[in-house]
A = this chain, B = another copy of it.
Amino acid sequence: MPDPSSAVLAVLGAGLVDPASPVARADDAGLTRGDGCFEGCRIVMDADGRATVAKLDAHLARMTRSAAALDIGFDAEAWRDLVAVAVAEWTRTGGGEAAMKLLLSRGPASTGEPTGLAWIVPVTAETVALRQNGLKVITLTRGLGSDAFAQSPWLLGGVKTLSYAINMAAQREAERLGADDVIFVSADGIVLEAPTGTVVWSHGRTLHTTPTGDTGILPGTTQQLMFEHAGAAGWQVRETTATVDELHAADVVWVISSVRGPVDVVELDGKSRERRPDIDAEIRRLSGF
């Protein structure tokens, strides 16, 4: 668990705040209803020793879409300023690779003012170990059909909401079974996404990922960057629906998040997978890791 003294916290409208001090009221809809959205970003140090946010534009663009879907105001310029304040403080206090969470909630019922936070903590030793060792993954049903989100905007498909209780419960289920992470599967057997990441798999020189849209899965910012760079490097890139059997048949399967990067799956539903360090290294590099 990160020590709050090694965290940086900036609050929209207030600037830097002691990370150990409470920031959300009891009637904040983020707390009472998971009613809001977030982004998880990676901070790296540049050549001049300054902390910088990887693909910040893509994160702010996705957060703009999430906020719009939730009918919560989002001033991208104010958020850019908030991020700048938090990241400058991260540099000042020593820097290093880090995870930054941007969190927007509808705010307290008693004020109607949205709550906005930028929260930075060092990348954990667990993240570093998983990058090295690869992931043991189990598949779990998400209960919804792969077209459940068509014409049902209230189901918030593609919206990175604060309502992640099921995602967290699925990760606890994985832990209980000795695994590291989960790949969700639709009720009709289609591979969806991980609780906090995108799924990509390769066959030969083709990369695949599940289509967004009717499936309700989140568009992955790191997956999009990967596909862009891999496409330029001669890979074919495809949006494809696949079953778990088809995933077993892939050369490499990755679970991808902005902070952890693409991590190859070394065990899927108890079945070991041969690691392919050649392919894996190229894809990680193309993804900025």
Contacts and interface: CB of A to CB of B under 8 A. Distances in A.
B32 A38 contact: yes
Contacts of A101: 32
Interface residues of A, number: 67
A187 B22 CA distance: 41
Contacts of A161: 34, 163, 165
A78 interface: no
A204 B56 CA distance: 61
B110 A20 contact: yes
A203 interface: no
A234 interface: no
A143 B144 contact: yes
A163 B103 contact: no
Identical copies of this chain, number: 2
Contact of A169 (B31, B156, B170, B173): B156
A25 B23 contact: yes
A79 interface: no
A94 interface: no
Contacts of A167: 33
A31 B71 CA distance: 18
Contacts of A2: 27, 109-110
Nearest to A40: B32
Given A26-B9, A70-B169, A143-B155, A31 B119 contact: no
A64 interface: no
B154 A166 contact: yes
Contacts of A109: 1-2
Contacts of A122: none
Given A2-B110, A148-B143, A173-B154, A33 B117 contact: no
A145 interface: yes
Contacts of A24: 22-26, 28, 31
A19 interface: yes
B32 A162 contact: yes
A35 B165 contact: yes
29 contacts: A1-B110, A1-B111, A3-B110, A7-B110, A20-B25, A22-B23, A23-B24, A23-B25, A24-B25, A26-B119, A27-B121, A28-B31, A29-B168, A31-B31, A33-B165, A33-B167, A34-B34, A34-B162, A34-B164, A35-B168, A70-B165, A142-B155, A143-B149, A143-B216, A144-B187, A145-B187, A154-B166, A162-B163, A187-B187
Interface of A: 1-4, 7, 9, 19-36, 38, 69-71, 101, 103, 105, 108-112, 117, 119, 121, 140-145, 148-149, 152-156, 159, 161-170, 172-173, 187, 216
